[in-house]
Structure 1
Amino acid sequence: MTDFRDIPHDERDPSPWLALYLDDSTPVPDHVKAAWLKDSSSRSRQFLLPFLRPLARTSIILIQILKVLLPKTWAHSRLLHRTLAFSMNRFVSPEANWLIMRHFHLGSQILAFIGGNAPTKVATNPLEPESIDDIKDELFLKHDLNLFNFVIRLNKTLRSHGQHIGPVPEPDFAMLREPPLRLEDMPRGAFNILDLQSAIEVYTPVYQLLLTDNDFWRASNSLQLDETVAIYAAKILSSPEHLVMLNNKHPLVPLSTLRAGHRLVLHGLSTEMLHCLLMRMASGETPLPSREIAKVKQATDRVMEHRD
């Protein structure tokens, strides 16, 4: 992996990648940030993405027209996921594959954190692939279904008990951990050069073509739930910091599918940041706002009792 700290600092020509790596305002672990920036600074992203993005978005429009003529139930989900697994193994860069695989683990852990710290515990269906071939088990589709099913299940449970998500002085962080995935284990063939953003732009119209319209729109709209999940975490921790750099909002205003590829990249980054913040709180590196609020409340109650 590129060590961005070794990049020389020329004040007349400063490296933007060194600046982004050293900047600590974005809560992302150093090893993840290094992989992200190496992928972002690749030749693939610099030279291929500007050509692939307009072609991909044009394809989305053409496929939408084609879908008018196809049966509504037209779908080949297994073929889609086999195609994705094949291309990831042979054409996608190690960093991009690693970040994609991490995303399933992080998303599952974040939902488990919210479900485990809700007033009434809510079960989740974690997705924790160990290899790229696990993608064949319709993992991308299941990821989208999991998110919507969790939001529905959680809020039905809360409503039935007349409850709301609120501050938890001693949150349960037991479900949070670093995914057991190694960057060194990702495929490194001669053609594994496609960066994350380029791969997602290419995959989006393929996803649209091989799924039903309903599945594709649901997948696109799932990106709008970034803010919803972040609000849940912020309420549990009494920490507005968890709303940092969210760009897929607002959940009640669905966006066009044309920018779904770019929004998916933002979704991945938001997930990494939220998981990082939770891990820092679990380790005690970052103080728990909810715990501090509880202490202040207890102190205030004692003062009021003394006055009485």
Structure 2
Amino acid sequence: MNPRTPEFLTREHDPADPSPWLALYLDRSTPLPDAVKEAWLADSSCKSRQYLLPFLRPLARAFIILIQVIKTFLPRRWSHSKLLHRVLAWGLEHFVSPEANWLILRHFHLGAQVLSFIARNAPVPVSTTPLEPMRISDLRDEMFVKHDLNLFNFVIRLNSALREAGVEMHAPETVDFSMIRDPGLSLADMPQRKRNFLDLQSAIELFTPLYQLMLTDNDFWRAANSLQLDETVGIYTAQILEAPQHLILVNNKHPLVPLSTLRAGYRLVLHGLSTEMLHSLLMQFKSESMAASKTPTQTQPATPPETTEPPPPPSV
């Protein structure tokens, strides 16, 4: 699936100098599919992340502090969301690596499927608003802001309905996995120019100050705090599946403890990985459920025919 096979898959294994990326790729303790893991590790092991990110990260955090000071003198409602998304889409199209762009587009689809899964299996009816961009240009429709709004609105609608009905989240009699599927996005369709070199984490660190500058403080803080709902979504899923042991793979700090926006870029990467992990687990559960439904039920052994005893001899 990956048009550019990463170096750690082509280099011969040297026991005296083992590749940490190869070890992570071969490891099966996490449920990521090979194609996703290959793209993730190819992006993580690229030169821009190794040499550029250490310089970009402190600069980006310094700009976050500076912009926070500047915005104290701007009108409270000052916002240019449409322009922001045009700039983000342009930057992704022209400078971000194919693997990073593929993972970003996948994230919208996987997040929509996970929320739909929870809504379909919740004990109360709740609506969702799926976002499923197929091309980078689709992100211009304020997709990033809508993604954050969807998450908070879903949590509010779900829990309002639960409170009104006086019920708690619990496992249904039959879990519906029909909405969980591969998004159908192709890595080969992502921009492949020479200038598409920027890795996912470097791109996020660069875009975060821009995100802060061109949105209201309320929108930016809401976006940063939405990352802490990863555990919330994970708990809902665990309650439906009755599988709390998998929550260890969904970790982005406690939802009731808001964190500084300085680490928003790093936590956004964790958010993306948590979503991939959760979706992979649901795909596994779906496969197991389908396999179980196809397994023929064991037939009971045939009951031997009843033997008829001969009638007793007539009494004399």
Q: Name the TM-score, length of structure 1 as normaliser.
A: 0.91
Q: Is the 8 A contact 2:250 2:277 kept in 1?
A: no
Which of structures 1 and 2 has the bigger CA Rg?
Answer: 2
C-alpha distance in 1 between matches for 2:256 and 2:126: 24
C-alpha distance in 2 between matches for 1:107 and 1:59: 29
Q: Against the structure 1 CA distance between its residues 13 and 285, is the aligned structure 2 distance closer, same or farther, given a 3 Å change threshold?
A: farther
Q: Who is 1:269 aligned against?
A: 273
> 1:9 offset after TM fit, Å?
1.8
| Counterpart code for 1:157 | A
Name which of 9, 12, 15 aligns with 2:19.
Answer: 15
C-alpha distance in 2 between matches for 1:286 and 1:166: 21
C-alpha distance in 1 between matches for 2:52 and 2:281: 33
C-alpha distance in 2 between matches for 1:270 and 1:73: 32
> 1:245 offset after TM fit, Å?
3.0
Structure 1 counterpart SS, 2:249: coil
> 1:8 offset after TM fit, Å?
2.0
C-alpha distance in 2 between matches for 1:140 and 1:225: 16
- The 5 A counterparts of 1:79-94 are 79-94=83-98
Name which of 23, 26, 29 aligns with 1:25.
Answer: 29
Structure 2 counterpart SS, 1:166: coil
Q: Is the 8 A contact 1:148 1:222 kept in 2?
A: yes
Q: Who is 2:152 aligned against?
A: 148
Q: Who is 1:238 aligned against?
A: 242
Q: Against the structure 1 CA distance between its residues 58 and 286, is the aligned structure 2 distance closer, same or farther, given a 3 Å change threshold?
A: farther
- For the pair 1:187 / 2:191, whether they are aligned, the reply is yes
- For the pair 1:102 / 2:93, whether they are aligned, the reply is no
- The 5 A counterparts of 1:56-205 are 56-205=60-209
Q: Is the 8 A contact 1:281 1:287 kept in 2?
A: no
Q: Who is 1:251 aligned against?
A: 255
Q: Who is 1:302 aligned against?
A: none
C-alpha distance in 2 between matches for 1:103 and 1:185: 16
> 1:42 offset after TM fit, Å?
0.2
Name which of 172, 190, 211 aligns with 1:207.
Answer: 211
> 1:243 offset after TM fit, Å?
0.7
| Counterpart code for 1:101 | L
| Counterpart code for 2:113 | Q
Q: Is the 8 A contact 1:225 1:251 kept in 2?
A: yes
C-alpha distance in 2 between matches for 1:200 and 1:76: 19
C-alpha distance in 2 between matches for 1:201 and 1:74: 22
Q: Is the 8 A contact 1:7 1:18 kept in 2?
A: no
Q: Is the 8 A contact 1:84 1:203 kept in 2?
A: yes
Q: Is the 8 A contact 2:97 2:200 kept in 1?
A: yes
CA deviations 1:167-206 (Å, max 9, x no partner) are 2242000111101210000001121000000000000000
Q: Who is 1:49 aligned against?
A: 53
Q: Is the 8 A contact 1:94 1:187 kept in 2?
A: yes
Q: Against the structure 1 CA distance between its residues 285 and 114, is the aligned structure 2 distance closer, same or farther, given a 3 Å change threshold?
A: closer
Structure 1: segments with no counterpart, 5+ residues? 292-308
Q: Is the 8 A contact 1:90 1:187 kept in 2?
A: yes
Q: What count of residue pairs does the alignment treat as equivalent? A: 289
Same amino acid, percent of matched pairs: 66
Structure 2 counterpart SS, 1:284: helix
C-alpha distance in 2 between matches for 1:158 and 1:287: 32
Question: What is the RMSD computed on CA atoms of the aligned residues?
Answer: 1.6
> 1:5 offset after TM fit, Å?
4.7
> 1:242 offset after TM fit, Å?
2.9
Name which of 211, 219, 222 aligns with 2:223.
Answer: 219
Structure 2 counterpart SS, 1:244: helix
Structure 2 counterpart SS, 1:61: helix
Divergent runs of 4+, >4 A = 3-6, 285-288
> 1:226 offset after TM fit, Å?
0.3
Structure 2 counterpart SS, 1:88: helix
Q: Is the 8 A contact 2:123 2:172 kept in 1?
A: no
C-alpha distance in 2 between matches for 1:259 and 1:127: 26
> 1:214 offset after TM fit, Å?
0.0
C-alpha distance in 2 between matches for 1:6 and 1:46: 19
Q: Who is 2:302 aligned against?
A: none
